[in-house]
Amino acid sequence: MPTTQRDLVVVGASAGGVEALRELLGRLPADLPAAVLVVLHMPPGARSALPAILGRVCALPVRPARHGDPLEHGTVTVCVPDVHLIVDGDRIALARGPRENGHRPAVDVLFRSAARAAGPRVVGVVLSGALDDGAAGMIAVRARGGVGVVQDPDDAMYASMPLHAREVGGAEHVVPVAAMPELLARLLEEEVDVAEVPPPSELMETEAAMAELDGDAYDTADRPGEASGFGCPTCHGALFTITEGPMERYRCRVGHAWSPEALAQEQTQALESALWMALRGLEERAALSLHMGRRAEERGHRHSAQRFRVRHDEARDAAAQLRGLLHRGELGGSALPHAVEEG
């Protein structure tokens, strides 16, 4: 019976993730028998100080990701802004593929590529973060015989990512960050049966290729999934529904991918932007009507002045309703506390 040992640890985090990463990496031994790859969601424009921050507390060498570097046991490789961190065979690849859940680098891209390349040798770790990033990646890791670990939601600054990786992604182990090094040491020592591990699915291959901007993945007439009837918030193209295990998620023709929570959040932001544009239009309409009404009165055109006053009042009333909706924050489920609302 062929066996192997786990030797690739992929870690994903978002909000609150720096603190969790510092604690996790600060407790890892210098002789860790695995390569560690880290994705933390970050803005695209800024230079990342994450390798330096983590390197101060970690006994392992911590380096920023570079295209073509080999995977090396006993090292920590950290994502860099605005490129996906990808496992390509026994090497690291960087690619400017489509964003997933609005992020590049994205947790799901790293996890999916690791699952495709290393199968049962992978340990996927999801730390603190908002929304449901990492759940699809955890499904991919487990589908190829890897094992999932999540930060105990009660231990996380932001519990949503670990919760979804456990409940939807099916991660087997839920522990506080302080207990993760001991758990990882045990998982890396275990012998893993590889005889029953399925090969990468066609869906996994296609999505991994999209992240790498592989032309063959885009030239085919078909796209993964079924037409959803929804539009992509990034490019406004059609979204296709992908059902993978217990998770339903979405991807557009050019590859932008969305999990349910991330899509809902992005739609909320788009709707709020549209409301601000509508509010601007109403305020301008009210100001113009007031100006034109005064000019009409000055010229003795009372009928026209009355029509402009009605338009002004209608625009002001509609603007007041929009301001109230925006102020209460009801679109995103973040309504103000009752006492503040009344004040």
pLDDT confidence of residue 307:
96
pLDDT confidence of residue 331:
67
Do residues 136 and 259 touch, judged by C-beta distance below 8 A? yes
Q: Provide the mean pLDDT of the chain.
A: 93
Would you list the DSSP string of 168-202? TT--SEEE-GGGHHHHHHHHHHSEEE-TTPPPPPH
Question: For this structure, is 14 an active site residue?
Answer: yes
Does residue 334 have a pLDDT over 60?
no
From residue 246, alpha-carbon distances to 35, 130, 168, 222, 223 in Å are 30, 20, 6, 23, 20
| Phi–psi pair at 148, nearest 5 degrees | -110, 140
The Cβ of residue 335 has, within 10 Å, a number of other Cβ atoms equal to 13
Beta-ladder partners of 40: 13
Confidence class for position 327, pLDDT limits 50, 70, 90: confident
**Residue in 98, 170, 180 with CA at minimum distance from that of residue 140:** 170
The two tokens of residue 193 are 């049966």
Quickly tell me which residue has 């296609």 as its tokens. Answer: 206
Does residue 225 have a pLDDT over 70?
yes
pLDDT digits (tens, 9 = 90+) for 167-205: 999 999 999 999 999 999 999 999 999 988 999 999 999
Q: For residue 131, is it left (φ>0), alpha (ψ between -120 and 50) or beta?
A: left
**Residue in 141, 156, 193 with CA at minimum distance from that of residue 8:** 141
% of the chain residues with pLDDT over 70? 95
Per mean pLDDT, which range of 11-25, 45-59, 97-111 is the poorest? 45-59
pLDDT digits (tens, 9 = 90+) for 229-271: 999 999 999 999 999 989 999 999 999 999 999 999 999 988 8
Question: In this predicted model, which residue has the larger pLDDT, 334 or 340?
Answer: 334
**CA distance linking residue 211 with residue 23, whole number of Å:** 30
pLDDT confidence of residue 48:
86
Beta-ladder partners of 151: 175
Question: For this structure, is 103 an active site residue?
Answer: no
Out of 41, 173, 256, 312, which one is annotated catalytic? 41
Out of 84, 103, 132, 133, which one is annotated catalytic? 133
pLDDT confidence of residue 343:
33
pLDDT confidence of residue 338:
45
Confidence class for position 45, pLDDT limits 50, 70, 90: confident
pLDDT confidence of residue 119:
97
Mean pLDDT, residues 272-277: 92
Per mean pLDDT, which range of 64-73, 89-98, 264-273, 291-300 is the poorest? 264-273
Question: For this structure, is 41 an active site residue?
Answer: yes
The two tokens of residue 92 are 């690291």
Collect all residues with Cβ–Cβ distance below 8 Å to 102 and sequence separation of at least 6: 233, 234, 262, 266
pLDDT confidence of residue 92:
98
**CA distance linking residue 204 with residue 58, whole number of Å:** 33
Do residues 66 and 86 touch, judged by C-beta distance below 8 A? no
The Cβ of residue 159 has, within 10 Å, a number of other Cβ atoms equal to 18
Does residue 340 have a pLDDT over 70?
no
| Phi–psi pair at 151, nearest 5 degrees | -65, 135
